[in-house]
Structure 1
Amino acid sequence: MDLGAALAADAAQTASLALPALLAARAQRDGEAALFSDRRTCWSGAQTLEIAARRAGALAAHGIRRGDRVALLCTNRSEFMEIVLGCGWLGAVVVPINTASRGMQLEHILRNSGARLIVAETHLVGAVHAIDAQAHALESIWLIESGERGESAEARESSHAPAARSMTVQPFPPLGEPLAAPPIGDGDALAILYTSGTSGLSKGVICPHAQLYWWARLTAEHLGVVAGDVLYTCLPLFHTNALNAFFQALVSDAQLVADRRFSASGFFASLIETRATVTYVLGAMVPILLGRPASDREREHRVRIALAPGVPGHFQQEFTERCGIALLDGYGSTETNFVLGGGIADQRAGYMGKLVPGFDARVVDENDREVPDGEAGELILRAGTPFAFASGYFGMPEKTVEAWRNLWFHTGDRVVREANGYYRFVDRLKDAIRRRGENISSYEVEQVLLSHPAVETAAVYAVKSEFAEDEVMAALVLRAGETLDALALIRYCEPRLPYFAVPRYLDFVADLPRTENGKIQKYKLREAGITVTAWDLEASGYRLRRA
């Protein structure tokens, strides 16, 4: 029996792939074994089941009903998972928000999702108060005392300030009375995850319960996760990668330890302290870790394998030889699943892997006609398993139709399929920027730059980074008679953009390359790269604030 048939047969034995059923099954199999920890709190399988039912009770007592959206602006901590579990148990929809979101991006997410309640840490809630209260449907805020070191008095005062438009503000309430889970279908929405995959406003990806289940089963199968494993992540739970890791632990009788953030100096110490056996890294993390002096601690851990999407092939062997951790590549997106990949024995340097059973893939031209093996084209995907993919973009039907045209999901990624069935990533078809593991919309950055009164035109694009990903560069034309200091523009962007989206390079130019009809030719800017006239934020010595 192949992988797809084996997993399908296993899933068929489960009456439901929705979160309440998965929690109940885990508690029944081994209720005493640890399931989740944030390194301050640890829950067993039985405790996690109870927390889900009681947090759902607290949400229901607050007036949250099935289908309501609950926004979440929170770092990796137990309260984050309480809200995910409570929403999943109740049939509500959790909306995890990147903690760096500010200004227009945050306003758009809250407006588009229609969330009535937001759960936010005190050091982050100021960003909510800073946006137009008339632009969203929020009725109340639950505050989690963050206890962040260096949290300013102004931030603490802001977090407890009266909310505009009659929003109620209250401390994060205790668990409520346990609530019986209503019938929840595999295709019911569990989360809306916002992604800036290409250009334009962030799109809310509607993730059904079954999609998270299949992400977990397939990823765990490729990683070889078994009962008793300790999965360690320092990636943010508001992204698919880390959220998926919780579900891997849930369905594999393993434990997830979610750390607050990535620290290059403390990464291996954390692996040792948590007794981790499996971990997760992004492309830029590996060269950063390799750039540090070698240490004996890099070999004192128990980790055998790491999920490492996007790590350049020439770093993979060096990292494994130095640290003793095998790196597993693959391909998936928030909208899809683990569609290309395989186990360690199937890995080929520079390739994402082969098609995973249960999915269909094509490489096509601009008219959706399949191209021959060896020729680059857009990767389009389709799931043969019910609800294994996202069900669309929330509140954006035209974007859903565009992405799923001809009943195939169009990834926007240009790839090559070789004759042996392996897929190789080439580049993005559209103007996306990938920096430090984050997708950045050039459109959103441009809108902030253009809102400065001295800026007439702005073009934002990716240039190469020393860490195998992208850096953000902006070419700007100023209004006639205006002058603008580069650092002053960075400070203008800082409260209006996530820190990772603030441009590193600024180039003030007389004009931008354009087509005959006036459209900016960004490919020419990308080809020019980092110009000799470009100003470099990192070289200036100025350090961006991250909260």
Structure 2
Amino acid sequence: MTVPALLLDRADRRGGHTALRVDDVRLTYRQLADRAAAMAGSLAGRGVGRGDPVAAMTSNRLEAIDLLLGCAWLGAVAVPLNTALRGDALSHVLATSGARRLLIEPEYAERVAAAGFRDELWIVGTPSAPRPDSPPLPPVEDISAHDVAAVLFTSGTTGLPKGVRCPQAQFLWWGRGVSESLELGPDDVLYNELPLFHTNAINAFFQALVAGGTFVLGQHFSVREYWSRVADADATVVYLLGAMVAMLAGRPPAPHDRAHRATRALAPATPERLSQPFHDRFGVELIDGFGSTESNLVIGTTSRERRAGYLGTVMPGYDALVVDPAGTPVPDGSPGELLVRTELDGAFALGYLGDTAPAPGNWLATGDRVVREPDGWFRFVDRIKDVIRRRGENISSTEVEGVLAQHPDVAQVAVFPVPSELAEDEVMAAVVPRPGRTVDPIALRRFAEPVLAHFALPRYVDVVDALPLTETGKVRKAELRDRGARAGTWDAEAAAPTRRGG
């Protein structure tokens, strides 16, 4: 259960098959293994040893994958960094990572210098940068499934990013679990344009390696060009996160909607209302599941048994529990925080940088609010930090979003708490209209009144051109909360016609 062992096995079994495509470069499994060994030699020649962290701040490019595999081969630790980081957050991750070597593209050099990095800087494309052109090294003989292969920093939406210590085996378990859920095979082509500093893209790469298929690395997500890129990649499987599904569904019909080979997408926490319309329009099945940077595919499905709007059931080798704030299990059908654990060796992360490694088999708190049905199926409710407390009631922002998003004029919506005069939360919605449409906040609230409890109806509505998104397509709700109600924000308390809703 190590990356070098996987590469060597695939080079032996699938040597001539295309493993990776990045831009105009195509690499077979044999070439991929050879490059990993040569990259390890190049890193070693620059003083990198086993356990040494090597950071990278690049776009989706071949050099980033070379570094990831070269580090894994050598027993070093790759530390891919979010390219949006700057200032204190960038200083924090650089210091926390312990990296004394940093591979970057030229446009980030000034930002890194401003963040206080004074160690060895490798500029992509210059002689200083390691490249897979050195004499190959054999894999480290005693490399372990528990050796850290990468440190992945969380998004830091509620605080400074935390470095998750991911062992070599964790990526292989990701590959196995998702391959089973998506039923991946050696003829599949997996297309992913999420950034390589995120667990989704890295794990999709290993899913392709485990299945013996082909991984195509795209660039940043584009709603307008997405399906043409999927067609150009000849992809059979794609990956969608956060608002990406709603953004694609909100676009006007286009010729590329079905001009592709993709049949399924890994799309965690997809709202039930989007699943069938998305399949009908694009010919792609949206497949749910639960996993995180710290865990693995703990909850998932297979093609023989899926339910729209549900994460799935607990996968073999894992366990899940739903608890209240005191840590007491709640009855089936009641919402609570999801805790997960595993009996699979190396399937979970080894904790965070600076923390003591958790004992094997310990429960991991996910921060997700879910419901377990009596038949064992799990349904996502909300992130716990996004739960709104109003009139003594807990309100799911996801539930409110699901109702508002069904309005024919709404393309995207984000619901979040803002402070009220009563030392509790008020419900606020930021709404993006469909192209060529306008959103009337009064009509939107009236649309929701027959479905939502009165205390869940949004008091504030902001009509905006776009929602602030992370690099992985998730809505930056912290930014929306900080912005709050402003000049031009519609307020139900000042709109007499809707006062009847409370």
Q: Contact 2:2–2:168 at 8 Å: present in 1 too?
A: yes
Measured after TM superposition, the shift of residue 386 of structure 1 is: 0.8
Task: Give the structure 2 partner of residue 143 of structure 1.
Answer: 123
**TM-score, structure 2 length as denominator?**
0.77
Deviations 1:289-336 (A, max 9, x none): 122221232111111111111221111111100010111011110000
Q: 1:410 to 1:27 in 2, by over 3 A?
A: same
Is 1:175 matched up with 2:155?
no
Is 1:227 matched up with 2:192?
no
| Paired AA for residue 393 in structure 1 | Y
Task: Give the structure 1 partner of residue 237 of structure 2.
Answer: 278
Q: Residue 65 of structure 1 aligns to a residue in which SS?
A: coil
Q: Contact 2:190–2:208 at 8 Å: present in 1 too?
A: yes
Distance in structure 1 (CA, Å) of the matches to 2:477 and 2:277 = 31
Distance in structure 2 (CA, Å) of the matches to 1:194 and 1:507 = 23
Quick one: which of 365, 383, 387 aligns to 1:428? 383
Distance in structure 2 (CA, Å) of the matches to 1:330 and 1:215 = 12
Deviations 1:270-302 (A, max 9, x none): 111111111111131112112222123211111
Q: 1:283 to 1:428 in 2, by over 3 A?
A: closer
Quick one: which of 15, 28, 32 aligns to 1:44? 28
Quick one: which of 40, 64, 77 aligns to 1:93? 77
Is 1:73 matched up with 2:57?
yes
Is 1:374 matched up with 2:354?
no
Q: Contact 1:198–1:431 at 8 Å: present in 2 too?
A: no
Is 1:214 matched up with 2:178?
no
Q: 1:309 to 1:60 in 2, by over 3 A?
A: same
Quick one: which of 285, 298, 301 aligns to 2:257? 298
Q: Contact 2:55–2:81 at 8 Å: present in 1 too?
A: yes
Task: Give the structure 2 partner of residue 119 of structure 1.
Answer: 103
Task: Give the structure 1 partner of residue 362 of structure 2.
Answer: 407
Measured after TM superposition, the shift of residue 212 of structure 1 is: 0.5
Task: Give the structure 1 partner of residue 278 of structure 2.
Answer: 319
Distance in structure 2 (CA, Å) of the matches to 1:308 and 1:173 = 34
Deviations 1:38-70 (A, max 9, x none): 122111000000000000001000000000000
Q: 1:204 to 1:186 in 2, by over 3 A?
A: same
Q: 1:28 to 1:197 in 2, by over 3 A?
A: same
Distance in structure 2 (CA, Å) of the matches to 1:343 and 1:34 = 26
Q: 1:303 to 1:347 in 2, by over 3 A?
A: same
Distance in structure 2 (CA, Å) of the matches to 1:225 and 1:47 = 22
**Structure 2: 5+ residue stretches without partners:** 388-396, 399-415, 417-424, 434-472, 491-502
Is 1:256 matched up with 2:211?
no
Distance in structure 2 (CA, Å) of the matches to 1:188 and 1:462 = 46
Q: Residue 304 of structure 2 aligns to a residue in which SS?
A: helix
Greater RCO structure (CA 8 Å; 6+ sep)? 1
Is 1:419 matched up with 2:374?
yes
**TM-score, structure 1 length as denominator?**
0.71
Q: Contact 1:284–1:311 at 8 Å: present in 2 too?
A: no
Pairwise mapping of residues 146-157 of structure 1 onto structure 2 (< 5 A)?
A: none
Distance in structure 1 (CA, Å) of the matches to 2:135 and 2:428 = 53
Measured after TM superposition, the shift of residue 405 of structure 1 is: 11
Task: Give the structure 1 partner of residue 204 of structure 2.
Answer: 245
The CA RMSD measured in Å over matched residues stands at 3.1
Distance in structure 1 (CA, Å) of the matches to 2:182 and 2:302 = 6
Q: Contact 1:283–1:312 at 8 Å: present in 2 too?
A: no
| Paired AA for residue 410 in structure 1 | A
Measured after TM superposition, the shift of residue 378 of structure 1 is: 1.2
Distance in structure 2 (CA, Å) of the matches to 1:502 and 1:407 = 30
Q: Contact 1:505–1:534 at 8 Å: present in 2 too?
A: no
Q: Contact 2:66–2:132 at 8 Å: present in 1 too?
A: no
Quick one: which of 63, 66, 70 aligns to 1:82? 66
**Structure 1: 5+ residue stretches without partners:** 1-16, 146-159, 161-168, 435-441, 443-459, 469-497, 509-528, 536-547
| Number of aligned residues | 419
Q: 1:292 to 1:418 in 2, by over 3 A?
A: same
Q: 1:129 to 1:85 in 2, by over 3 A?
A: same
Q: 1:465 to 1:314 in 2, by over 3 A?
A: farther
Distance in structure 2 (CA, Å) of the matches to 1:248 and 1:213 = 8
Measured after TM superposition, the shift of residue 31 of structure 1 is: 0.4
Measured after TM superposition, the shift of residue 464 of structure 1 is: 4.2
